[in-house]
Amino acid sequence: MILLRAREFGLSLYPLPPLQNAMKLPGTETQPENVSIAMGKLEIGAGMTFLDIGCGSGAVSLAASRFTDIIYGVDRRPEAVEISRAKVPAGTFLCGEAEDLLATLPKVDRCFIGGTRGIDAFFPLLMERLRPGSVVVADLARIGIASKVANLMKAEGIFNELLQIGISRGYELAGDIALRPINPIFMVVGRRPGMSEQMEMTRC
């Protein structure tokens, strides 16, 4: 069982299943600690509709399935869709580009973006699928794309925060323990105002 040292981030503990028989895919794999942080930011509730864009190895969808059974995922790689379907049999996973598939999906409450290919095209379509009070979390390996996603969220009035997450893993060295850092990840969080908040903003 993998646990995030969540007190450092002010989060609850979200246990994740062991990463057994993980299948490697091109691109940067979402670290289990980042998955836990994402779950804390998403705050997925029972009955919510969750969407995983760039579902990859299915790790995020699997974690989300602990909180809701309405899971959708998209990925342009057939092998990624196959892996995600195997990990979350109750989910619906589609193969193709996000901009081509979003219009076929229901409205969503929570969205995780793990793949940003074509984001200029699919982000406006994603905004059309978001319900009031929805949350979007993007997990990104490069600061340039993190800045771009933050600006896209700002343009839509949903930007909440940008985090840099640094993880170091211990290893034995000369009878002691040293730390080997993993490349930092950037997490961008967006929140769409709920109905009551929208009404309040309208009054103002």
Give mean pLDDT, residues 153-165: 98
- Determine the Cα–Cα distance for residues 32 and 4; give it in Å rounded to an integer: 8
Residue 125 located in a structural domain? yes
Amino acid 29: pLDDT:
72
Instruction: Give the mean model confidence (pLDDT) for residues 164-189.
Output: 95
Asked if 115 contacts 140 with a C-beta cutoff of 8 angstroms, the reply is no
Whole-number average pLDDT of the chain: 87
Interval 165-176: pLDDT, tens: 999 999 999 999
Regarding pTM above 0.75, the answer is yes
The answer to whether residue 9 scores a pLDDT higher than 60 is no
Over residues 97-133, the pLDDT tens digits come to 999 999 999 999 999 999 999 999 999 999 999 999 9
Contact between 139 and 30 under an 8 Å Cβ cutoff? The reply is yes
pLDDT at 1: 30
CB atoms within 10 A of CB 78: 10
- At residue 195, the pLDDT reads 62
Domain that holds residue 73: 29-203
**Is 147 among the domain residues?**
yes
Total number of domains constituting the chain: 1
Q: What is the pLDDT of residue 4?
A: 38
pLDDT (0 to 100) of residue 53: 98
Q: Looking at residue 114, which CATH number applies to its domain?
A: 3.40.50.150
**pLDDT given at position 111:** 98
Q: How confident is the model at residue 191 (pLDDT cuts 50, 70, 90)?
A: very high
Q: pLDDT tens digits, residue range 62-84?
A: 999 999 999 999 999 999 999 99
Q: What's the 3-state SS for the chain?
A: CECCCHHHHCCCCCCECCCCCCCCCCCCCCCHHHHHHHHHHHCCCCCCEEEEECCCCCHHHHHHCCCCCEEEEEECCHHHHHHHHHHCCCCEEEECCHHHHHHHCCCEEEEEECCCCCHHHHHHHHHHHEEEEEEEEEEECCHHHHHHHHHHHHHHCCEEEEEEEEEEEEEEECCEEEEEEEEEEEEEEEECCCHHHHHHHHHC
**49 closest CA partner among 137, 110, 105:** 110
Residue 86 lies in a domain: yes
